[in-house]
Chains A and B, each alone.
Chain A
């Protein structure tokens, strides 16, 4: 099913992060079409609690679509997705449950421009988790401190830089206390000097043991943080391995070609 079995993935625990045997996400035989375009083909993927997975691949390879399927922003047409023991189906209750377990950050941050930073962070806790306002604000401030922008709490998204906005977006997701975080190219829309501040936040999150699936082309990040790198092309998982092996000793020609292009820069 997966190229790496549980034992090996436990062995590559370089940064002393604990990876358990508990399955966080299990995807089996997933297929998806956009119209007649077969965008995801027979995806099989098991993610264990605490894993940090980086997904890379050329654009249009289906990597974003895959992680968007995990919290039902996209609907898959075949196969099975089980997140934290809950199977993703058209049942609204299941979708709600999974979405409250899974946080997501987007390429374009998607902060709510009409709300302050603090309100962005308390909106979902108040309206989904039914948290009292004070408690929600305390939690929000906690996470804003964590992403190092508590002093911006009363500003509006439009008043912040891109890097700051993305960190707010991460804090906003964390306020829902998710057990899994999905990142969809979180640094692609940022200037180089802002990429670092976002990556630092993500590394910190990883060190705390958050289960993370991250679509990114930041190979430095993959080498530093990931315990597994997945390469996708044409809707398929072509290859997956621990980072060192993946970068030093890619198996397939397509991976080699991709790596040569992306590292050649």
Chain B
């Protein structure tokens, strides 16, 4: 008994804080915590002190003042007399727009490239390898500027269309060095009904899929879900369009004094940013997809084949569900990267949140601290939202192991 309790009787020595593995980690954590708290306190108190010394206050009132500047790409109504707050919202929506379409195209490009890189066709696999390595290993900013230079200098000037030196595609699309004009939809009477029918047909597709699954479980019959879904998606809206007498018409762009009037203008800044972000992020996603497919062992496909499953079903039921587990987590972080990288928009004059709230507003009001904090908060919220969707997915598909 005494022999066992003897080490405890030794008591606590100060050196144990550093050399004893039981206390060591606590010591290190405590020291780190003290340093971090001290550092943050120093930064905050210095900032407050210096703001005071400069006679500057900390105030978000500028968000309610008229912005005074114009923004070219608007998803909501805005003019130069709107507030800085509204300008920030315009920029935020522009950021979300380019991030959203960028994520979609990056995923499409990345998936295709990832699959093609595994192709047995030597030329295809090499070409994709060149694409992937080229985009992954050159800074994004260079691609944005390069693509912008290409789209704006290799295309005709809007005035050339009036003079007949350039002509529109299908008489409706004009690709120019200021942007691409396409016909814009005009929502006439009855458009609402059309939209409702379209939404209803999406609901119907979801319902049909549930029905198809129950039916298979009950009778074993497998319905052609894909084709019926596609039919449900398109046909009702198409029929309704003609019954309602074509409520949605197109407004075609026409040449004006300086440029095109009417139609929908997709600016080169958006095109360049979108393309560059998609191609750049797509090259990373391609590697994720390739890795994900390689991670599913050939044995899985063989086992499915041996059970008589056709290759399409094998892909859908066996390979993809497993590959997705490997692909999705890095895919989510690529979405995060793309969203944050979209702040390079100012390089080509795309008016995103960084350009309005974090750029012009800060310059015109001098509220850098407030503006940058708000901008940081915005990106933080967007990133956390994307990440939580990803975490939710990961948790729901996590493999159970012993």
Contact = CB atoms under 8 A, between A and B. Distances in A.
A and B, direct touch (CB closer than 8 Å): yes
Given A100-B308, A104-B306, A133-B216, A127 B300 contact: no
B307 A173 contact: yes
A112 B297 CA distance: 11
B115 interface: no
Given A127-B222, A132-B218, A158-B401, A96 B299 contact: no
B221 A112 contact: no
A132 B399 contact: no
Contact of A130 (B220, B303, B305, B322): B220
B220 A113 contact: no
A124 B309 contact: yes
A114 B397 contact: yes
A124 B304 CA distance: 8
Interface in A102-150: 102-104, 106, 108, 110-114, 123-124, 126-136
A110 B306 CA distance: 11
A167 to B, nearest CB: 15
B220 A176 contact: no
A211 interface: no
A52 interface: no
A126 B220 contact: yes
Contacts of B318: 112
Nearest to A72: B305
Contacts of A41: none
A159 B305 contact: no
B219 A132 contact: yes
Contacts of B219: 132
Q: Which of A102, A108, A128, A155 is most buried by chain B, counting CB atoms within 10 A of its CB?
A: A128
A169 B310 CA distance: 19
A223 B402 CA distance: 36
Contact of A128 (B218, B300, B307): B307
A102 B305 CA distance: 11
B13 interface: no
Given A130-B221, A133-B218, A172 B397 contact: no
A159 B399 CA distance: 10
Given A127-B317, A132-B217, A133-B217, A113 B399 contact: yes
Contacts of A160: 402
Contacts of B397: 114
A30 B321 CA distance: 37
Contacts of B309: 123-124, 127-128
A205 B297 CA distance: 28
A173 B322 CA distance: 21
Contact of B402 (A136, A159, A173): A159
A176 B308 contact: yes
A133 B221 CA distance: 10
Contact of A113 (B302, B304, B305, B322): B322
Contacts of B221: 130
B220 A110 contact: no
Given A131-B220, A132-B218, A158 B307 contact: no
22 contacts: A92-B310, A102-B306, A104-B306, A108-B299, A110-B300, A111-B303, A113-B399, A114-B321, A126-B220, A127-B309, A128-B307, A130-B216, A132-B216, A132-B217, A133-B220, A134-B218, A135-B220, A156-B399, A156-B400, A158-B401, A160-B402, A173-B306
Interface of B: 216-222, 297, 299-300, 302-310, 313, 317-318, 321-322, 325, 397, 399-402
Given A73-B305, A133-B220, A176-B308, 17 more contacts: A71-B305, A72-B305, A110-B303, A111-B303, A112-B304, A114-B321, A114-B325, A114-B397, A124-B304, A124-B309, A132-B217, A133-B216, A156-B400, A158-B402, A159-B401, A160-B402, A173-B307
10 closest A-B pairs by CB: A158-B401, A110-B303, A133-B217, A124-B307, A110-B299, A130-B220, A104-B306, A99-B308, A156-B400, A128-B308
